[in-house]
């Protein structure tokens, strides 16, 4: 047989389209021609495969070899095609029967001695193989990741010789099985360690219950970062589908999967992060921090210190829950349903309104500092809470606050009510939100007057309704009333400040 076709898959973000590796041997001067839009790392596979076959003791065909990676218009990159190309050469030269590779896909990079090295993005590939109803041959180091796909026959191999021995029936490779990793609790970080700050703690609970974005503003050392780090501890664990989505993003980013399984991500990039680092991109678009925080928390400390341009690129993903990255030759779409928690000082020196130390900033400096946050960005942050400096008696108090487990129980109860309606309150569309709130005529008239005085935008109005609905869910009420509306409006402190209210 002089023609062989081996099935594998490319990696395009969270997608894994099928690729057919076609190998043809013809008469003529010995040489290898590789076509099918391969990038540099794929072109180099010719030399890796040649050395691997020779060092493993196989006959390398001294004929004119044509390798085609179909479809031809699909970009291919990385070393994942080494193993399929090597097997294609062995089948085309008659050293391995073609029937042995029926209903089989394979992926893996080859060392020069024939050893199999791991590749990134195996989980999306395994999920696609499962949907296609085929078995999958992977390097041993990728076996656990591939097995997360569930009902899939995963065949792990450490060397090309093991793969060939399996295909020849000499030493079958047992299918790799892996139970779902146990969900590991986040270490430490209990809410009971937070002293005082009752309004901030309340806002944190509301944010966890409804999936709302949250901004803490206050002087340095008042506990803003400490509060934010406690949010994952009061959130529910990830569901099965959510955990797979989070793991798929980590897979294409080359990050470990099992040690974080079931735990909501908590990402805290430094304020010097670029727009590409935050939302994703590059010459070959990769996930950014907002995608790595999918179904979890994105914490931005010192929010005004981020470049305004960097912050503005988050506006659309905060609404849609995904990021679409387009380049001249590449296009990717990554999930980005994250919960934003941010912290900021009230002024450049940080002591505006701090009774412990006088502020040294001028009015112009304060205005420029606060103006780094645009109105449209603040509109998308549901809860804006002041975190004041604590009096010494509260700091030294030994009375513990309410623990994370107690708060989580209330959060879970509120979320159950929301999921019964179809979605978390933070994600309710306008019509669904109006029907869920069902404000009476008196509350509507009152709220309209308040919004007019405070100069709230239409988006801010819907944010107030969402927060009020979450407050009602926490209180076990069928719909929000005047008390919940007042509290929800109280969480828009920066809106009032910047609008002169």
Give the pLDDT mean for 464-493. Answer: 93
pLDDT at 499 over 60: no
In a domain, 82, yes or no: yes
CA nearest to 250, candidates 259, 41, 19: 259
Tens of pLDDT, residues 218-255:
999 888 999 999 999 999 989 889 999 999 999 999 88
Number of domains in the chain: 2
Say which CATH number the domain at 124 has: 3.30.230.10
| Cβ neighbour number for residue 304 with a 10 Å cutoff | 21
Is the per-residue pLDDT at 324 higher than 80?
yes
Q: Are residues 441 and 481 in the same domain?
A: yes
Residue 162 — left, alpha, or beta (φ > 0 → left; ψ -120 to 50 → alpha)?
Answer: alpha
pLDDT greater than 60 at residue 496: no
261 inside domain: yes
Let me know whether 260 and 320 are in one domain.
yes
In terms of domains, do 462 and 381 share one?
yes
Query: Does residue 350 fall inside a structural domain?
Result: yes
pLDDT tens-digit map of 387-440: 988 877 666 666 777 889 999 999 999 999 999 998 999 999 878 898 999 899
Torsion angle of the four alpha carbons 55, 56, 62, 65, in this order, in degrees rounded to the nearest 10: -110
Domain boundary among 115, 135, 167: 167
Give pLDDT tens digits for 84-126: 999 999 999 999 999 999 999 999 999 999 999 999 999 999 9
Give me the pLDDT at residue 455, please.
83
96-112 CB burial, b ≥16 within 10 A, e <16: bebeebeebbbbbbbbe
According to the model, what pLDDT value does residue 83 have? 97
Q: Quick one: pLDDT at residue 500?
A: 41
For residues 161 and 291, membership in a common domain is answered with no
Structure confidence at residue 181 (pLDDT): 65
Asked if residue 184 is part of any domain, the answer here is no
Residues 104 and 138 in one domain: yes
In a domain, 179, yes or no: no
Q: State which residues form the domain around 214.
A: 191-391+402-498
Residues of the chain with pLDDT > 90, as a percent, come to 64
Last residue of a domain, one of 167, 200, 233: 167
With respect to residue 102, please indicate whether it lies within any of the assigned structural domains: yes
Domain-located, residue 180: no
Does residue 304 register a pLDDT over 50?
yes
Q: Are residues 148 and 225 in the same domain?
A: no
Find the CATH number of the domain harbouring 218: 3.40.50.300
Give pLDDT, residue 396: 65
Question: 420 and 280 in one domain?
Answer: yes
Evaluate the CA torsion angle 74, 277, 376, 299 in order and state its sign. Answer: positive
As a whole number of angstroms, the distance between CA 382 and CA 461 comes to 10
Do 114 and 200 lie in a common domain?
Answer: no
353 and 257 within one domain: yes
Residues 22 and 153 in one domain: yes
For residues 233 and 364, state if they share a domain. yes
pLDDT tens-digit series, residues 350-363? 888 888 888 889 98
Q: What is the overall mean pLDDT for the chain?
A: 90
Q: Is 173 within a domain? A: no
Mean pLDDT, residues 72-82 taken together: 91
- 394, 196 contact by CB (below 8 A): yes
Same domain, 235 and 97: no
Where is pLDDT greater, at 150 or 216?
Answer: 216
């Amino acid at each position: 047989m002089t023609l062989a076709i081996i099935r594998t898959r490319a990696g395009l973000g969270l997608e894994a389209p099928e690729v057919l590796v076609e190998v043809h041997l013809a008469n003529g001067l010995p040489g290898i021609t590789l076509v099918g839009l391969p990038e540099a790392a794929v072109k180099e596979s010719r030399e890796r495969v040649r050395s691997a076959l020779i060092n493993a003791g196989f006959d390398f065909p001294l004929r004119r070899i044509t390798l085609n990676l179909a479809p031809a218009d699909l970009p291919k990159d990385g070393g994942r095609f080494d193993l399929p190309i090597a097997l294609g050469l062995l089948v085309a030269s008659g050293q391995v029967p073609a029937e042995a590779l029926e209903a089989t896909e394979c992926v893996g990079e080859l060392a020069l001695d024939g050893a199999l090295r791991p590749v990134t993005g195996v989980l999306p590939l395994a999920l696609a193989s499962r949907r296609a109803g085929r078995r999958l041959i992977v390097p041993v180091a990728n076996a656990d990741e591939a097995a997360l796909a569930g009902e899939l026959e995963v065949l792990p191999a450490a060397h090309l010789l093991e793969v060939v021995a399996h295909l020849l029936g000499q030493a079958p490779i047992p299918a790799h099985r892996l139970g779902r990793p146990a969900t590991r609790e986040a270490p430490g970080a209990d809410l009971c360690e937070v002293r005082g700050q009752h309004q901030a703690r309340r806002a944190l609970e509301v944010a966890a219950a409804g999936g709302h974005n949250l901004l803490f503003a206050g002087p340095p050392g008042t506990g803003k970062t400490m509060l934010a780090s406690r949010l994952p501890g009061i959130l529910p664990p990830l569901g099965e589908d959510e955990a797979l989505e989070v793991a798929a993003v980590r897979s294409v980013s080359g990050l470990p999967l099992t040690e974080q399984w079931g735990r909501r991500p908590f990402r805290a990039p430094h304020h010097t992060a670029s727009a590409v680092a935050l939302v994703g991109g590059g010459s070959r678009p990769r996930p950014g921090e907002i995608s790595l925080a999918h179904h979890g928390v994105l914490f931005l400390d010192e929010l005004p210190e981020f470049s305004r341009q960097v912050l503005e690129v988050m506006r659309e993903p905060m609404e849609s829950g995904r990021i679409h990255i387009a380049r001249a030759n590449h296009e990717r779409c990554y999930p980005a349903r994250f919960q934003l928690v941010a912290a900021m000082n009230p002024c450049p020196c940080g002591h505006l309104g701090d009774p412990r130390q006088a502020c040294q900033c001028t009015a112009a400096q304060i205005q420029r500092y606060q103006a780094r946050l645009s109105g449209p960005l603040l509109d998308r942050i549901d809860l804006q809470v002041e975190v004041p400096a604590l009096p010494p008696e509260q700091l030294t108090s030994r009375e513990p606050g309410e623990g994370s487990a107690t708060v989580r129980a209330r959060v879970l109860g509120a979320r159950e009510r929301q999921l019964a309606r179809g979605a978390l309150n933070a994600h309710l569309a306008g019509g669904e939100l109006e029907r869920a709130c069902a404000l009476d005529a008196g509350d509507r008239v009152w709220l309209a007057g308040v919004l007019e005085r405070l100069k709230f935008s239409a988006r801010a109005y819907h944010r107030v309704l969402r927060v009020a609905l979450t407050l009602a869910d926490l209180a076990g009420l069928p719909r929000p009333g005047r008390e919940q509306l007042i509290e929800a409006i109280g969480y828009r402190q920066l809106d009032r400040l910047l609008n002169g209210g």
